[in-house]
Amino acid sequence: MKNNNNDFSLNQRIPSMMLTDEEINFRQYLSSAEISAIEHEVAIMENREAAGIEALKVVQAHRGWISDDSLIAIGQCLNISSAQLEGVATFYNLIYRQPVGHYVIHLCDSISCHLTGYEEILHTIKAHLDIDYGQTTADGEFTLLSNACLGNCDKSPAMMINDKHYHSLTAESVIAIINGLSQYVEQEQ
Amino acid sequence: MTDNSWLEGALSQALTKPLTHLVNLEQPLDFNGYVRAGGYMGATKAIKEFTPKEVLAIVSDSGLKGRGGAGFPTGMKWSCVPALQEKPPQNLHAEQGNSYLICNGDEMEPGTFKDRYLLEGVPHQLIEAMIIASYTISANKAFIFLRGEYHVAARRLQKAIDEAYENNWLGAKIQGTDYQLDLYLHTSAGRYICGEETALISALEGKRANPRAKPPFPQVSGLFGKPTVVNNVETLSNLPHILKHGCEWFKGLSPNSDPGTKMYAACGQVKNPGLWELPMGVTIRELLYEHAGGMPDGLQLKGLLPGGASTDFLTPEHLDTPMDFDSIGKAGSRLGTGGLIVLGDKHCPVAMVLNLLSFFAQESCGWCTPCRDGTAWAVEILTRIEQGKGTAADLTQLDELCDFMWLGKTHCALAPGAVEPLKSAMRYFKTDFEQHIEQGCCTYKETNQNQLGRASNE
């Protein structure tokens, strides 16, 4: 059987030591802010299971990624098995089941970008940050991932870093954008 | 604040470019601005002057077809909701009368960006449209299913929803009527298959987003087992204008049998990529050469996909084909989302098809074998051919795969969508495929396919 999983994505977990269901109490593990945000989604859907993807996004927004322990805690909170929730979590490109950097670069690799210079942008980012797809820089600042069509096809090549889109990329502009963000991180620290 | 000259200019196009005349990507109209520009008049008419069945009759009569890609008549889709059937089933419970409307804003078809333009540029238009559609199908709850990457659209839509609640266009007793509607924004987390309507429903229920078998159709048993209608952003956006200006006006917008306007786009190797709302049925030539400025200097047109990644290639001989559902169908492709993806003669068509198939292989949900295995094998074989390591047997194998993955053999339309560009490329660009195999290399790379002089070594 062929394995269709995208080798570059971080939506697959890495086997690790994890706490068991008995060892986690979601009321202690999740913050009250996380729980109330999840309950808000549950109320909208009138169904606990249906809040699964929103719950994953809530916890990821607070913690940067979804660890095994987080997965168990969310499963408890929604009263569904962690196995079922794992099936949802690993389905989506924007749910990270491994730690990611401060900035996650999602480079569009779809057709319009392919036709207008995606390769050069990819090589530039890889060389500038010295990372490949699926990797994070040693200082924990940048993670590089591919993304299916970002819907900026009239201004390709395009990428998304966290929740901001950048378009009409050139080798020069992509370096300037990354350097600008690096400085921003330094100032924050 | 919106300046008056902008608004005057916009309103002068209200009857010719209904969908986009109020689009402002910098700063979309807020509630008051939208109302001043004639907004919410269509919804007022619908909920105050007509019964749901009368709205259905108007929409059916307008001839509006779905703009999400399949081109299914919207009125017919709605009419399958049990409460709207001519003779509602005798065992129709009050429960079944309560249905859901979902706006499909999971725009992720490569080469497509039309919905983003409407979502970011005129969010209140979609909300007005959803009120009309929800009222018609007797839904008291509606969802906008938005792709997770559209952050700007998410912020603007949520603001517009909040404003609509504040102004009694959402919530209980809308505008003094007995009608109640709650509207929620759901943002997804990045997966193409969620755009398939039954997969979208699975996703919204919190399940792994695999498509479901049909029947039962969502209109009968959809979200949480209730009657559910899923419509595309652009489809819905037509409703306020059809209600406001009438069916005859809508039909008159287009010179041919498919009524209305269409959001057309062009991207890839064209001089001026962009998006234009034009009468349904402009020719490919007009779209490519008059609106998109033609080919970039030094490039000749090799081929194009007329409506996104999952449509068949067309070639220069098809330039005079009108871009409507029927004509593009007769030319051997599909109108799809109406966005041209243009290929010049200096870029390798095999590499292009490999990129497309890689997308489908990655985004296959994995539920059925023909799709999960077929798309991945196609990528492997195409990679081999593109690298100059292919054999004649590989072409036969690709042909067979196209058959294995075709309609009727798969769980949903994803794999057949992948077959469309592959099969048509093998037909129109046969020589290119054969040259890769005979010469053991990609001839385009030597003639600077990608201005870099760097071969793909991924």
Please, which residues bridge with residue B452 across strands? none
In CATH terms, are B257-344 and B349-446 the same topology?
A: no
Report the first-to-last Cα separation within chain A, whole angstroms. 48
Mean pLDDT of B158-164: 98
User: Residue B62: is its pLDDT beyond 80?
Assistant: yes
- How many Å lie between the alpha carbon of A112 and the closest alpha carbon of chain B? 5
Query: In the prediction, which pLDDT does B69 show?
Result: 87
HEC profile of B6-20 = HHHHHHCCCCCCCCC
Counting beta carbons within 10 angstroms of the beta carbon of residue B197, is it exposed (0 to 12), middle (13 to 18) or buried (19 or more)? buried
User: Residue A19: is its pLDDT beyond 80?
Assistant: no
Contact criterion met (CB < 8 Å) for A111 and B110: yes
| DSSP, residue by residue, chain A | ------TT-S-SPPP-----GGG--HHHHS-HHHHHHHHHHHHHHTSSGGGHHHHHHHHHHHHSS--HHHHHHHHHHHTS-HHHHHHHHTT-TTS-SS---SEEEEEE-SHHHHHTTHHHHHHHHHHHHT--TT-B-TTS-EEEEEES--S-GGG-S-EEETTEEE-S--HHHHHHHHHHHHHHHHHH-
Please, which residues bridge with residue A108 across strands? A147
Give CATH superfamily name and number for A103-188: Glutaredoxin (3.40.30.10)
Q: Is B95 on the interface with A (CB under 8 A)?
A: no
Q: Where are the domains of chain A?
A: 21-89, 103-188
User: pLDDT tens, A130-182?
Assistant: 999 999 999 999 999 999 999 999 999 999 999 999 999 999 999 999 999 99
Q: Which of B269, B341, B373 sits opposite A2 (nearest CB)?
A: B373
Q: Is pLDDT larger for residue B383 or for residue A187?
A: B383
Residue of A11, A56, A60, A149 to mutate, interface with B, max B Cβ within 10 Å: A149
User: Residue B91: is its pLDDT beyond 90?
Assistant: no
Class of B349-446 per CATH? mainly alpha
Mean pLDDT of A81-86: 95
Token digits of residue B40: 């919410």
List chain B residues with CB under 8 Å of A124: none
Mean pLDDT of B66-75: 93
Please choose, from the candidates B448, B347, B427, B421, the residue with its C-alpha nearest in 3D space to the C-alpha of residue B111: B421
The whole-angstrom separation of Cα A42 and Cα A144 is 33
Contact criterion met (CB < 8 Å) for A57 and B187: yes
Q: Where are the domains of chain B?
A: 4-251, 257-344, 349-446
Q: How confident is the model at residue B92 (pLDDT cuts 50, 70, 90)?
A: low
For B144, what's the count of Cα atoms within 13 Å in the CB-facing half-sphere? Answer: 35
**Cβ count near B3 (within 10 Å):** 7
User: Residue B376: is its pLDDT beyond 50?
Assistant: yes
Please, which residues bridge with residue A106 across strands? A145, A160
Q: What is the CATH number of domain B257-344?
A: 3.10.20.600
User: pLDDT tens, B193-202?
Assistant: 999 999 999 9
Mean pLDDT of A73-89: 96
Q: What is the CATH number of domain B4-251?
A: 3.40.50.11540
Q: Which of B274, B343, B364 sits opposite A154 (nearest CB)?
A: B274
